[in-house]
């Protein structure tokens, strides 16, 4: 009875928390705050009941002063409309770059949005969602702006929902997720660009009047040439431990557009959303179009703090099993490519066991019979085991791996098809292609039309079939190696849906498949892979536990890549494999791959004795500190872009243990940076610590003893010299509290 009463009480409290605080005010000058612990966004209606952004900055102590903010600014708005609209409509009073542009059912292209109401729903003590309803006074057309905040982490997720009750579909020509406005002097934008094997390269520019656009039009993925991740720094160029910064990302796994516009007042307008390129979306009456989310972390103490908050948020609230464990692995891709059979694979299980990793991952090449997958030009789409290579099927391999004491994972690329495949022969109408034009291939393959529910069933079926037949299958590597050329859907054509829905419906179809997979298989780890450009964002990571940042595994390149990904993603999500790429010694490669989720893609059986001893020892060490790399706080200490060395450190949440990775990134003979210590961060100034070098190659001893005791204060001010030199190019330090 008492228990029942307590449950009732708890429910009551829960109800109170989720009670909606409704603030409806139709008079002018409604002020709507969206606050995190260290940031305040203020919106206010003007005399025409249009919603404007009036403040974005440090929290104001007195709510009663919110209304005084707007009067501080003297903007002349007589010519081009207003710049600080909270969601800029096109076709009426505003001539600035719009957030939304539509063609109504009757062909009219004007849109006005007026404030109607707003509400705040407190989900728990840390999380709240504010929603603001705006309506067109002439057409039955409405937009709701959503702002979800995680107060402690200073993270905001912003999206928009669009709906109408017109007689026929309305064409959404532009439909941004977010429209923000910042009044400040000087804005610096870091965007991340690249190409295959050169992913995620940061470029910082000071924004000047006009629009700087970062976008992509690749169809199947967002990243490769540009990425939807960015750093905005206010007043000065971004730095690690000071200054006001925003780390942001549009969480959409396809074409995106980020517009950073310095207006004539020298303020920054920012509009982020799905790329409107070839994507006029036909929205039927009463259906809600939900845009993807813009997600951003804010800090007044530089990019380091913003990243740590974003990592905490991601692990706790977003990434599938973000607070869980991951499997170390041996992958056969670079060891065998397509050239393997059952016996060769079985022998690799022994190598995996001998190394001490958790799992063996069978890569590309295991399927296709009429068109065997012996190269990348055939077989994709035919997901039956190749009888010649694997006469006893996958089930046999899963069992054999188990006998060796290792788990078994498998590679698939389910969104794609080779023209030389049975799937292509049977279902040409499932392939995205222009019926009247020559086909264009990317890695000899094409993309399946996921706007088609039959294709969604097919893709779900690939994964489902694998798990139904092999319940002990432990891992999926989900690859994506093509972009959409010749965008055209036979399915949409048959349904009478405009072709310009395809880019959006492709992604929505893919998310539907992933939702079905996760409804049936909630936790099994899946890696999101894309040979070129990486494929990772916080919508995808609701369904995936980790991602493959790049095919480039050359370890010096990797130090830069992992550093730059680390602004946005916690290391538990980043898969790093030791391969034979580059000229760095094995130790260097293993150390670099240990800054994330460690894997191997080498012929382990051919390692010489010392290399083998080293790897086994390093895997043991990794198992002892992986919890800190996965779940601790990350501090970027020495930036490889600016120095001869690079250093990065992970600290346990209780500050009792840390791991510091130090590398030489410049091979010139005279290196001054190594003469100086590396200044640590994140420790407890009052605790005492020892510093010990680990991951030493057999027969090599450290240049310093681990007996000395230092205070956290000393290590975080005077620092510690890891003695990185041309002879010691990679040094891993274990920092332990002395109790
Ligand atoms: C691209 C991936 O990045 C590689 O690791 C490998 O899985 C190949 N695809 C297989 O085709």
pLDDT per residue over 191-233, tens digit each? 999 999 999 999 999 999 999 999 999 999 999 999 999 999 9
Among 196, 224, 335, 364, name the best residue to mutate to test ligand 1's pocket (greatest count of ligand atoms within 8 A of Cβ): 364
CA of 577 to the centre of ligand 1 (A): 12
Angstrom distance (rounded) from CA 619 to CA 358 = 10
Ligand 1 closest atom vs CA 376? 11
More confident residue, 95 or 418: 418
Among 199, 331, 333, name the best residue to mutate to test ligand 1's pocket (greatest count of ligand atoms within 8 A of Cβ): 333
Measured by CA distance, the residue closest to atom 10 of ligand 1 is: 364
pLDDT for residue 10: 41
pLDDT per residue over 672-686, tens digit each? 667 899 999 999 999
Ligand 1 closest atom vs CA 363? 7
Angstrom distance (rounded) from CA 538 to CA 715 = 35
Options 3.40.50.300, 3.30.70.3340, 3.20.20.70, 3.90.226.10; which CATH number does 329-414+464-481+496-630 get?
Answer: 3.20.20.70
Fold equal for 329-414+464-481+496-630 and 634-737: no
Res 356 pLDDT > 80:
yes
What ranges do the domains of the chain cover? 23-304, 329-414+464-481+496-630, 634-737
Q: What are phi and psi of 590, to 5 degrees?
A: -70, -40
DSSP string, 301-326: BHHHHHHHHHHHHIIIIISTTTTS--
Q: What is the topology classification, in CATH, of domain 634-737?
A: Immunoglobulin-like (2.60.40)
Mapped onto helix, strand or coil, the DSSP state of residue 423 is: helix
Q: Which residues are catalytic?
A: 479, 551
**Region label for 483, one of left (φ > 0), alpha (ψ between -120 and 50) or beta (otherwise):** beta
CA of 411 to the centre of ligand 1 (A): 9
Can you say whether the dihedral through the CA atoms of 111, 116, 122, 123 is positive or negative? negative
Question: Residue 22: pLDDT band by 50, 70, 90 thresholds?
Answer: very low
pLDDT per residue over 104-143, tens digit each? 999 999 999 999 999 999 999 999 999 999 999 999 999 9
Angstrom distance (rounded) from CA 737 to CA 194 = 41
Q: pTM for this structure?
A: 0.95
Angstrom distance (rounded) from CA 190 to CA 309 = 19
Ligand 1 residue neighbourhood (C-beta within 6 Å): 333, 363-364, 411, 479, 481, 529, 531, 548, 551
395's enclosing H/E stretch is: helix 393-404
CA of 479 to the centre of ligand 1 (A): 7
Helices (H), 583-728: 586-593, 609-631, 712-717
Contact 704, 638 (CB under 8 A): no
Here the tokens at position 175 are 């439909």
CATH annotation of 23-304: 2.70.98.60
Closest CA to 294 of 147, 482, 436: 147
State CA 398 to chain mean position distance.
31
Res 17 pLDDT > 50:
no
> What is the residue whose two structure tokens read 């993603």?
569
């Amino acid at each position: 009875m008492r228990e029942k009463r307590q449950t009732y009480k708890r429910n009551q409290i829960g109800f109170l928390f989720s009670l909606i605080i409704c603030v409806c005010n139709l008079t002018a000058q409604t002020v709507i705050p969206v606050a995190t612990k260290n940031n305040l966004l203020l919106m206010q209606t003007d005399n025409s009941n249009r919603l404007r952004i009036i403040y974005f900055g440090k929290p104001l102590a007195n709510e009663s002063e919110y209304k005084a903010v707007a009067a501080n600014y003297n903007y002349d708005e007589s010519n081009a409309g207003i710049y600080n609209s909270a969601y800029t409509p096109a076709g009426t009073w505003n001539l600035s770059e719009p957030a939304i542009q539509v063609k109504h059912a009757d062909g009219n292209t004007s849109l006005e949005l007026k404030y109607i109401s707003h509400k705040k729903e407190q989900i728990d003590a840390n999380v709240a969602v504010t929603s603001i309803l705006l309506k067109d006074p002439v057409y039955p057309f409405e937009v709701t702006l959503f702002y979800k905040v995680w107060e402690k982490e200073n993270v905001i997720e912003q999206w928009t929902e669009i709906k109408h009750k017109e007689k026929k579909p309305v064409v959404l020509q532009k439909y941004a997720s977010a429209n923000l406005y910042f009044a400040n002097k000087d804005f610096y934008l870091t965007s991340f660009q690249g190409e295959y094997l050169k992913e995620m390269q940061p470029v910082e520019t000071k924004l000047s009047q006009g629009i700087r656009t970062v976008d992509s039009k690749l169809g199947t993925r967002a990243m490769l040439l540009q990425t939807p991740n960015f750093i905005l720094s206010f007043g000065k160029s971004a730095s690690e431990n000071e200054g006001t910064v925003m780390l942001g990302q549009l969480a959409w796994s396809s074409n995106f557009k980020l517009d950073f516009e310095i207006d004539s007042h020298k303020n920054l307008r920012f509009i982020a959303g799905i790329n409107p390129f070839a994507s006029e979306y036909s929205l039927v009456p009463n259906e809600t179009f939900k845009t993807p989310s813009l997600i951003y972390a804010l800090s007044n103490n530089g990019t380091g703090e913003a990243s740590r908050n974003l990592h905490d948020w991601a692990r706790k609230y977003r990434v599938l099993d973000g607070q869980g464990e991951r499997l170390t692995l041996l992958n056969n891709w670079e060891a065998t490519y397509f050239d393997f059979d059952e016996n060769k694979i079985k022998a690799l299980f022994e190598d995996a066991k001998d190394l001490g990793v958790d799992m063996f991952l069978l890569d590309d090449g295991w399927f296709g019979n009429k068109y065997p997958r012996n190269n990348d030009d055939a077989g994709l789409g035919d997901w039956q085991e190749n009888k010649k290579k694997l006469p006893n099927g996958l089930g046999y391999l899963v069992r054999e791996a188990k006998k060796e004491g290792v788990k078994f994972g498998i590679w698939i690329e389910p969104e794609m098809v080779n023209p030389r495949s049975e799937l292509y022969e049977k279902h040409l109408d499932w392939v995205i292609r222009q019926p009247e034009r020559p086909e264009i291939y990317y890695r000899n393959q094409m993309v399946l039309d996921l706007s088609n529910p039959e294709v969604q069933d097919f893709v779900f079926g690939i994964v489902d079939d694998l798990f139904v037949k092999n319940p002990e299958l432990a891992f999926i590597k989900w690859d994506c190696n093509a972009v959409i050329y010749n965008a055209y859907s036979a399915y949409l054509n048959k349904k009478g849906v405009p072709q310009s829905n395809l880019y959006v419906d492709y992604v929505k179809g893919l998310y539907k498949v992933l939702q079905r997979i996760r409804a049936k298989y909630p936790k099994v780890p899946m890696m999101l892979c894309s040979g070129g450009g990486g494929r990772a964002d916080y919508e995808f990571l609701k369904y995936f536990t980790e991602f493959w940042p790049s095919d480039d595994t050359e370890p010096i390149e990797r130090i830069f890549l992992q550093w730059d990904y680390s602004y946005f993603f916690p290391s538990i999500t980043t898969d790093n494999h030791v391969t034979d790429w580059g000229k760095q010694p094995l130790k260097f490669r293993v150390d670099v791959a240990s800054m994330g989720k460690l894997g191997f893609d080498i012929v382990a059986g051919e390692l010489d004795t010392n290399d083998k001893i080293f790897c086994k020892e390093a895997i043991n060490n990794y198992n002892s500190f992986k919890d800190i790399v996965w779940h601790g706080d990350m501090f970027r200490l020495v930036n490889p872009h600016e120095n001869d060395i690079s250093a990065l450190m992970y600290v346990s949440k209780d500050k009792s243990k840390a791991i510091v990775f130090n590398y030489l990134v410049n091979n010139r003979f005279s290196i001054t940076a190594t003469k100086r210590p590396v200044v640590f961060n994140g420790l407890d100034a009052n605790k005492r610590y020892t510093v010990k070098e680990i991951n030493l190659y057999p027969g090599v001893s450290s240049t310093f003893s681990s007996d000395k005791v230092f205070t956290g204060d000393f290590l975080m001010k005077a620092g510690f010299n890891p003695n990185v030199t041309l002879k010691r190019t990679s040094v891993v330090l274990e920092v332990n509290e002395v109790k």
